[in-house]
Amino acid sequence: MLTSSPGRVGFETAPFKLTQEYVDVMGGVDSPVYASFRDLFLKGFLSLRKHAESLAVLIELMEERSSLPCFSGNRGKAADTTARQFQERFQQSLTDQQCAALVDGLIASSLNNVYTTLYDQYQYYTNGIL
């Protein structure tokens, strides 16, 4: 969520992890549960979007003296802070309708993303992590 991929490999390119197993648990892409997931995802995104600036201020406070990897790569780069990147993800210049299309795209590009699948296989073979 704050720019750091697991293990800092930088391999996963999906906006979030949405594997086939997750979708299967919801009953598949044509199920009412999956439709509800998509609807709730959009509602959550739009709700957070309203507060993106305030949330970014909180992240800036955390960023100040943190040694967490998600902050250390951006420290001192005023134009490219983790807080600013976080805020930019909410696309404040878009209308709610345009945001709905953006969210649909985020979900579509996350669903069964090949790099997520490959990274999961890498984790399994190198670390025994399923």
For 77-114, write each residue's pLDDT tens digit.
554 678 888 888 899 999 999 999 999 999 999 998 88
- Asked, for residue 10, whether it belongs to a domain, the answer is no
Mean local confidence (pLDDT), 69-82: 62
DSSP letters, 1-57, are --SPPGGG-----SSS-B-HHHHHHTT-TTSHHHHHHHHHHHHHHHHHHHTHHHHHH
d(CA 49, CA 88): 10
Range of the domain at 48: 18-127
- Mean pLDDT for the chain overall: 83
- Asked, for residue 12, whether it belongs to a domain, the answer is no
- Asked, for residue 3, whether it belongs to a domain, the answer is no
pLDDT for position 36: 98
* Number of domains forming the structure of the chain: 1
d(CA 77, CA 100): 31
pLDDT band at 54; cut points 50, 70, 90:
very high
- Asked, for residue 97, whether it belongs to a domain, the answer is yes
CATH, residue 35: 1.10.1070.11
- Asked, for residue 79, whether it belongs to a domain, the answer is yes
pTM of the model: 0.75
Q: For the segment 28-47, what is each residue's pLDDT rounded down to a tens digit?
A: 999 999 999 999 999 999 99
